[in-house]
């Protein structure tokens, strides 16, 4: 995985020193809050309902065990013993003290981590497919290009004061696990007719109060031209993006207002005028970065594992875990294991310091010391030999982490909501807990099959509710929490924004409504049809009618 060179290292430590000075000046009164706030936000430090909150970047979701152990140490020393993995592959600590933050950042810098550009109107942490580099359906590992973009965008003087925040996601696989169509820029690694690898570029996706699916602005940008093309997009946005209204300042609004044809014309005009030689992504630089992502020292293994097959036959729970939490690896004899951070009744995405250490130990012993954070708020062991899956499962079980629910109805995304967040209008976590408890039975979850529920505690949509198969948006109505439910959202290559099921409902009704939706699906599905496919076939009306019938 990527290691800092001397420039990265010096830069990050310099930022720590700079922020330490800024905090000292704030505490001495030399800086007031109006002056200090933009500085702390540039270093990922927010003020939430109960305390400060520090958001730490996990670039393209790749994490070493050394880094995870350091996060565990920070959780215990400076926070309340846990962290929260977010829908942007970051981690948040909810209780740091301002005076401790420079020290926390110093400790992060020691393990090549930081909180830079996890807030503010800049290009945020670049996210990627969490199966990057190991997915069986991948054209190319997206992490080197995500790293290239990170280097290009970090502290970029031209793009540090954009009209609004800017999120980029990259996938190298046919199946989109990175929700690239819901980002300001989405990149898909593709091959052109000549067999060359390049990028399909998508602009103007996003969620929030105005959800939009991104539009393709170029079907193929050559590798060497990528940074120049991205620069052209950013310049168009920086020039024409609205600054008069923060709710209309994202690039999706610009694309919507001027139309994709005009957007493409402006990008192409800018691209043509650029001094491309100054920002060319040359082959030597591509190779230099790619070398950091060299694959681990795999063994030559047979594709099948007798030990695995035998254990599956002997243990139903283990078999269920393999079915739900293990994905195909590009390398014979290896598998990708997703560790669910969604225990029944738990807070989605939360991990305690002990859990982080247990996961780090397992990754060291069985997974080449590498982990991934998913935007679905789970962790991944990307490289586990199939023969070791029995042991990995046993270790996870011992640590209380063998939740076999990945992709199922209890694998719920939820933002922190009103329990923590200053922007939230309603709670998210208790809704996720109530639904998970309602559908806790493993047999029932298996019967329902693949179904993604995503919950946001406000219109800003950090819980990605618009693109949940079932989306839940928490609002406040007359002083009471109220939840709007949408159906048919999809975060994949078939991305779709969910449709409203009906008027908002109070919290206590949500599990019953989810139950009605699920039963309508079960009654209408054909064979092994997934929820989203049944929904697309029968439409929202059938769900509305069933809900009305249940109410009377």
Partner 1 sequence: VSKPAKPFQPVILIANHLLDGDVVFWGGADWVLDHRKALVATDAHQAEALSLIGSAAYAANHIVDAETIAVTLSADMTPEPIHMRDFIRTRGPTTRTDLGKQAD
Q: Strand ranges (DSSP E) for 72-203?
A: 82-85, 91-93, 127-128, 168-171, 185-191, 197-203
Q: Which is nearer to partner 1, 32 or 541 (CB)?
A: 32
Residues near 147 by beta carbon (within 8 Å), at least 6 away in sequence: 2, 59, 60, 126, 289, 292, 293
Q: Which is nearer to partner 1, 11 or 78 (CB)?
A: 78
Q: How near is the Cβ of 80 to partner 1 at its closest, in Å?
A: 6
DSSP string, 415-468: --GGGT-SS-SS-SHHHHHHHHHHT--HHHHHHH-S--EEEESSTT-TT-GGGS
Distance between CA atoms of residues 133 and 330, nearest Å: 8
Q: How near is the Cβ of 486 to partner 1 at its closest, in Å?
A: 23
Q: How near is the Cβ of 414 to partner 1 at its closest, in Å?
A: 10
Q: Which is nearer to partner 1, 383 or 481 (CB)?
A: 481
Q: CA 206, 212, 218 angle in degrees (round to 5)? A: 85
Q: Which is nearer to partner 1, 347 or 353 (CB)?
A: 347
Q: How near is the Cβ of 82 to partner 1 at its closest, in Å?
A: 9
Cβ atoms of residues 408 and 367 within 8 Å: no
Question: Which two structure tokens, joined as six digits, stand for 469?
Answer: 């198969």
Q: Which is nearer to partner 1, 286 or 352 (CB)?
A: 352
Q: How near is the Cβ of 306 to partner 1 at its closest, in Å?
A: 44
Q: Which is nearer to partner 1, 254 or 510 (CB)?
A: 510
Q: How near is the Cβ of 477 to partner 1 at its closest, in Å?
A: 12
Q: How near is the Cβ of 47 to partner 1 at its closest, in Å?
A: 6
Q: Which is nearer to partner 1, 219 or 345 (CB)?
A: 345
Q: How near is the Cβ of 406 to partner 1 at its closest, in Å?
A: 22
Which of 504, 506, 518 has its CA nearest to residue 550? 518
Distance between CA atoms of residues 552 and 540, nearest Å: 19
Q: Which is nearer to partner 1, 51 or 197 (CB)?
A: 51
Distance between CA atoms of residues 197 and 205, nearest Å: 23
Q: How near is the Cβ of 427 to partner 1 at its closest, in Å?
A: 7
DSSP string, 377-417: S-EEEEEEEGGGHHHHHHHHHHTT-----TTSTT--EE--G
Q: Which is nearer to partner 1, 62 or 433 (CB)?
A: 433
Cβ atoms of residues 401 and 337 within 8 Å: no
Which of 521, 518, 523, 519 has its CA nearest to residue 535? 521
For partner 1, the binding residues (CB under 8 A) are 26-27, 29, 32-33, 47, 49-52, 80, 95-99, 347, 418-420, 424, 426-427, 429-430, 433, 476, 479-481
Question: Which two structure tokens, joined as six digits, stand for 409?
Answer: 């109805």
Question: Which two structure tokens, joined as six digits, stand for 234?
Answer: 């950013």
Q: Which is nearer to partner 1, 279 or 423 (CB)?
A: 423
Q: How near is the Cβ of 377 to partner 1 at its closest, in Å?
A: 15
Q: How near is the Cβ of 10 to partner 1 at its closest, in Å?
A: 30
Distance between CA atoms of residues 550 and 546, nearest Å: 6
Q: How near is the Cβ of 504 to partner 1 at its closest, in Å?
A: 15
Cβ atoms of residues 490 and 470 within 8 Å: no
Q: Which is nearer to partner 1, 146 or 418 (CB)?
A: 418
- Distances 519 to 199, 382, 527 between C-alpha atoms, Å: 41, 35, 15
Distance between CA atoms of residues 79 and 104, nearest Å: 10
Let me know if 73 is exposed, middle or buried by CB neighbors in 10 A (0-12, 13-18, 19+). middle
Q: Which is nearer to partner 1, 236 or 505 (CB)?
A: 505
DSSP string, 164-187: S-B-EEEE-BSS-SS-GGGSSEEE
Question: Which two structure tokens, joined as six digits, stand for 513?
Answer: 């409504």
């Amino acid at each position: 995985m990527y290691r800092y060179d001397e420039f990265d290292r010096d830069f990050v430590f310099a930022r720590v020193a700079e922020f330490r000075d800024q905090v000292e000046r704030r505490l001495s009164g030399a800086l007031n809050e109006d002056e200090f706030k933009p500085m702390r936000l540039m270093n990922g430090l927010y003020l939430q309902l109960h305390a400060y909150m520090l958001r730490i970047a996990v670039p393209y979701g790749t994490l070493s065990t050394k880094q995870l152990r350091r996060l565990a140490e920070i959780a215990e020393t400076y926070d309340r013993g846990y962290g929260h993995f977010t829908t942007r592959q970051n981690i948040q600590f909810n209780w740091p003290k301002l005076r401790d933050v420079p020290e926390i950042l110093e400790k992060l810098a020691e393990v090549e981590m930081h909180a830079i550009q996890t807030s503010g109107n800049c290009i945020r942490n670049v996210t990627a497919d969490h199966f990057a580099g190991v997915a069986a359906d991948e054209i190319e590992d997206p992490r080197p290009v995500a790293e290239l973009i990170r280097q290009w965008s970090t502290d970029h003087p031209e793009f540090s004061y954009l009209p609004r925040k800017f999120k980029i996601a990259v996938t190298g696989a046919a199946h989109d696990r990175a929700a690239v169509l819901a980002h300001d820029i989405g990149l898909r690694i593709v091959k052109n007719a000549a067999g060359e690898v390049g990028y399909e570029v998508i602009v103007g996706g996003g969620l929030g109060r105005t959800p939009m699916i991104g539009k393709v602005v170029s079907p193929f940008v050559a590798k060497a031209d990528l940074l120049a093309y991205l620069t052209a997009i950013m310049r168009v946005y920086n020039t024409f993006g609205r600054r008069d209204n923060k709710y209309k300042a994202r690039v999706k609004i610009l694309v919507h207002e001027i139309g994709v044809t005009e957007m493409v014309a402006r990008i192409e005009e800018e691209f043509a005028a650029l001094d491309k030689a100054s920002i060319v992504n040359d082959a030597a630089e591509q190779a230099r970065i790619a070398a950091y992502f060299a694959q681990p020292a795999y063994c030559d293994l047979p594709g099948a594992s007798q030990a695995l097959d035998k254990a599956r036959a002997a243990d139903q729970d283990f078999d269920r875990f393999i079915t739900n939490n293990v994905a195909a690896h590009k390398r014979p004899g290896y598998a990708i294991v997703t560790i669910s951070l969604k225990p029944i009744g738990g807070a989605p995405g939360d991990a305690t310091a002990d859990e982080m250490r247990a996961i780090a130990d397992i990754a060291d012993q069985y997974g080449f010391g590498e982990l991934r954070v998913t935007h679905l708020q789970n962790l991944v062991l990307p490289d586990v030999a199939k023969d070791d899956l029995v042991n990995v499962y046993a270790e996870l079980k011992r640590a209380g982490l063998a939740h076999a629910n990945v992709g199922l109805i209890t694998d719920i995304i939820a933002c922190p909501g009103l329990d923590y967040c200053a922007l939230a209008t309603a709670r998210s976590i208790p809704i996720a807990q109530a639904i998970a408890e309602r559908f806790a039975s493993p047999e029932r979850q298996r019967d329902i099959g693949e179904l993604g529920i995503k919950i946001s505690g406000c219109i800003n949509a950090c819980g990605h509710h618009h693109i949940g198969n079932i989306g839940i948006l928490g609002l406040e109505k007359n002083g009471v929490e109220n939840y709007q439910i949408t159906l048919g959202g999809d975060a994949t290559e078939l991305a779709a924004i969910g449709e409203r099921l009906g008027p908002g409902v109070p919290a206590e009704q949500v599990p019953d409504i989810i139950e009605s939706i699920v039963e309508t699906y079960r009654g209408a599905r054909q064979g092994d049809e997934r929820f989203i496919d049944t929904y697309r076939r029968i439409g929202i009306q059938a769900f509305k009618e069933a809900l009305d019938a249940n109410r009377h």
